[in-house]
Chains A and B, each alone.
Chain A
Amino acid sequence: MPEQRDYLRHDLTALYAFIESVAGSNVFRRSSAAYSPAAVRFFDFVLDLAASSKKHLEEWSVTDDDEFEDRREELGTIRAAWKELHRFIKPALDADTLQVPSAVVDGIVRQFKELPGCSKTEFAIFHTSEFNYVQIRTADLRRIASKLRTIIRGAPEFPNNLGLIGMPYSQGRTAFANCLVAHEMGHFIYREMAVESTLLTEADAALKSLFSNYEQEDQGRKDLWTRYVTRWAEELFCDLFGVMLLGPCYTYAYIEAYDLSTVLDSAGQISEERILPRIEFYEKHPSDMFRLQQQAVFLRGLPWWNHMRKGSTRFSTLLDALHNLPMETHVKQNPQLGRLVPVLEAIIPEITKTIGRVFDEVDDGFVLFCQLNSVVQDYLAAGVVPSTLNIRTGSGLDEVTVVTASPLVLLNAGMEFYLTRTNELMSSIQGEDLRIFDRRLHWIRRIEEWIAKAIEDESLKTEDGGA
Chain B
Amino acid sequence: MMPLSMVKIGEPNVICKIGGKEETRRFLENLGFVPGGTVMVVSEIGGNMIVNVKDSRVAIGKDMANKIMVR
Asked if A pairs with B, the answer is no
Please report B residues at the A interface, Cβ cutoff 8 Å: none
